[in-house]
Amino acid sequence: MAATPVTHTLIHARYTAPFGELVLISDGTSLVRLLLPIDTRVGLGEPGTDAVLEQAASQLDEYFAGTRREFTVPVSLQGTEFQLRVWAALRDIGYGRTASYADIAKAIGQPTAVRAIGGANHRNPVPIIVPCHRVIGADGSLVGYGGGLDVKIFLLDLEQS
């Protein structure tokens, strides 16, 4: 007899960040998405709250207050093997630091995959928590961010203060 997969109902809560409203989405055991203000993806689930959403909101409060440098809220990252490796490398970029797309490509052992790194960054389901805003161009330029360059600049400035 095959095991029946466990399915969790998605629930979401809105969170007011200094730069706009975020949507936090939980499956009941982990954070599965963090939508930035300009994100138009659907699949929010039902409005509500749970321990995961409360923990995520609390940790975001601390982050925006400048007292949290690392997130410990459980996350569930669903992606390709390549994307998962990229997202793991992003979590290794320290608070207040940046890395180039080439640095990430080298870190995962695929030095020629710079463009693919950008694609994986764009598909990061939990930005801020998995800090894709810390990735910059090889020349130090602030290239691309799913939440808009103004949000990227805000987050990088926050981490420098």
Q: How many whole angstroms separate alpha carbon 122 and alpha carbon 46?
A: 25
72 carries an active-site annotation: no
Strand pairing class (99-100; 46-47): unpaired
Task: List residues bridging with 25 in a β-sheet.
Answer: 12, 33
CA 54 to chain centre: 17
Q: List the catalytic residue out of 113, 132, 136, 155.
A: 132
Q: Which two tokens stand for residue 64?
A: 């925006």
Quick one: which of 151, 160, 131 has its CA closest to 18? Answer: 151
In three-state secondary structure terms, 25 is: strand
Active site residues: 132
